[in-house]
A = this chain, B = another copy of it.
Amino acid sequence: MPLRAGSAAMVKVTFKPGGESGETEAGTTILAAAASLGVTITAPCGGRGRCGKCRVIAEKGCAPPTPSERDQLTGEELRHGIRLACEAVLLEDAQVIIPSDSRTISGKILADDAREEISLRPNVSRRTVVLPAPSLSDQRSDFERVADGLGTPAQSLRMHREALAELPSVLRDNDFKVDVITVGDTIAGVRPPNARPCCLGAAVDIGTTTVVVYLVDLSSGERLATASALNPQARWGHDLISRIEHVQSTPAGLEDLRRSIVDLINRLLGETTEQAGVRRRDIYEVSIVGNTCMHHMFLGLDPRHLAHAPYIPVTREPLELSAEEAGLALSPAANVYCLPVIAGFVGADTVGVLLVSRLTERDHPTLAIDIGTNGEVMLWSGERLLVASCAAGPAFEGGEIRHGVRAADGAIERVWLSNGSIGYATIGSTRPNGICGSGIFDTVATLLDSGVADSTGRLADEQAAEKLQRGLVERLRGEGPQREFVLVESAESANGDIVFTQKDLREVQLAKGAVRAAVELLCSAAGIEANDIAEVLLAGAFGNYIDRRSALRMGLLPEVGVEQIRGVGNAAGAGALAALVSVDERQRAAELARQAEHIELMASPAFQMVFADSMIFPES
């Protein structure tokens, strides 16, 4: 159907691999048609037919090649339907394939919970090349032929041995038209053209407790599958120090720990590829995030010096190693990228927070906090980036708390004061069986607000209790260190009386004091006051679930408006995903890790004093 003057004939165009489809006027360029469907094709010259970068494959439906296309494409390429999107004009219904290197995807980051948009710019790319067959007058090696097809000098390109080994057959079985997969500047594989999906990556978040693997199609940025499991190193202890002691006490201890985590990651990689129905050997890159101890154990690096002063990591730089070196069963040419760490107790997970929170792009002093057993506090002063770790202890997660429980059905997650009586809510709205982290925050805030506890963290004694509302007085019992507050009576509970003890309150005070002292000391190091902080970012589950008012009431955070406190989600996993899909993000991660000044709180003479002050709760 040739285009006639004055006609408004419509043609249907479908873009692959995204599947975007729509109608456009005949006579429209492919580039314009793509834009109208929200599909972005790389066109550095602005669509003026000059740079030759907007190559697409359109075997039918277009007007004959323009002079500019004839200039920039070889006869062979034209015969195979390769066109310049900015020049080729649609005349009939057409299907257009956009090779990954001509595609720009700017979408939501792959993790649902990330803060910022990440542009897809993976280290792994795939490109279709159409090569002339060799002859006595063209005896270039198979490798040079491919390099020439990519437009890269052979001497500046590497090729993995196993990729070289399969190269002659794949080229000849596919008449010298193949997809070339590169990882960085190394050709990692050649494949029959348009086999899909064949360019996969995995982001791995190694937590002390849980390990998560995300499988991603690197051509589209699509997250294909996720699998997680408990960290099997728990058999040598739930906390890092116990695991490090296993290294100390057993000759093969480090190898035990390394092997267990590597085996688990291999298993989870298998689960994700099975879920997604793809081949494991099509995974060409893996990004790894974890705290410094997990990072060291995954790499088989001695973690013993992390555990005692001066807490020295073996290395902090971002690392790249081969899948074989890392022990991962993937494409033999796969690359394993480990995000950098900052210090012995400030790991790649913290770099993930810095990366996805865009902390250093704020124009006001901003604080970011990630709390697990260990707390990491990050302060952007507007000019400097300071980080510190503090031993928050497990109280905020319910550890060392008499009726503390993990966040699961039956856990009290909200507590409030209502007309002199205590209200509460449980996860799953079932009978309460204990108090989880967010419930602990609310409990402490409620005790403070009601006067049941004073600013020194002491539960009201008999005498002081006289001033309390009746409903509360009855809930206090015991003497001295045994004094406790009954949150839920056994009649309502699945687990007998649920109480919050004087000792529980002290544990919370220690944890809160440690974090707040870190905030104060970072502010002091940066030459600002805590009051100058305009925004607070909370990472992880902590940021998702605690009541911000309770955190403020406890004096854990500097006094900012509640609306200036924001959660940044699972920033560790999001950081691994960001680094997986974008080399720019890796660059940024390396810069953040270098820029971060680690403040060793223990080295500060003021620490004990500030810590003691920080344990005090605000007056009201």
- A interface residues with partner B (beta carbon < 8 Å): 134-144, 154-155, 158-159, 161, 164-165, 167-169, 172, 299-302, 304-305, 309-317, 319-322, 324-326, 343-344, 590, 594, 598, 600, 602-603
Complex copy number for this chain: 2
A136 B299 Cβ-Cβ under 8 A: no
- 22 interchain pairs, CB-CB under 8 A: A136-B309, A136-B600, A137-B603, A139-B344, A143-B314, A143-B315, A143-B316, A144-B317, A154-B317, A155-B590, A161-B319, A161-B326, A164-B299, A164-B301, A165-B302, A165-B314, A168-B301, A168-B304, A168-B312, A169-B302, A172-B305, A324-B325
List the B side residues contacting A167 at CB < 8 Å. 302, 314
The answer to whether A314 and B344 have CB atoms under 8 Å apart is no
- In the complex, which residue of chain B has the Cβ closest to the Cβ of A326? B161
Interface centre among A134, A143, A168, A320, by most B CB within 10 Å? Answer: A168
What B residues does A324 contact at CB under 8 A? 324-325
Structural contact, A315 and B164, CB atoms closer than 8 A: yes
Report the Cα distance A167→B312, complex, angstroms.
12
Q: Is there contact, CB below 8 Å, between A312 and B600? A: no
CB neighbours (8 Å) of A139 from chain B are: 310-312, 343-344, 598, 600
- Are B315 and A159 in contact (CB-based, < 8 A)? yes
Q: A155-B594, A299-B164, A594-B155 are in contact. Are A142 and B312 (CB under 8 A)?
A: yes
* Given A136-B602, A139-B312, A168-B302; 9 other pairs, CB 8 A cutoff: A136-B600, A141-B315, A143-B315, A155-B594, A164-B299, A165-B314, A168-B304, A168-B305, A324-B324
> Please, which residue of chain B has its CB at the minimum distance from the CB of A143?
B315
- A471 to B602 Cα, complex, angstroms: 104
In the complex with contacts A159-B315, A300-B161, A317-B154, A310-B143 CB distance below 8 A? no
Least CB distance from A134 to B in Å reads: 5
A377 to B139, CA, bound (A): 18
Cα separation A468 to B538 with both chains bound (whole Å): 108
Residues of chain B with a CB closer than 8 A to A320's CB: 158
By a CB distance below 8 angstroms, the chain B residues around A313 are 141-142
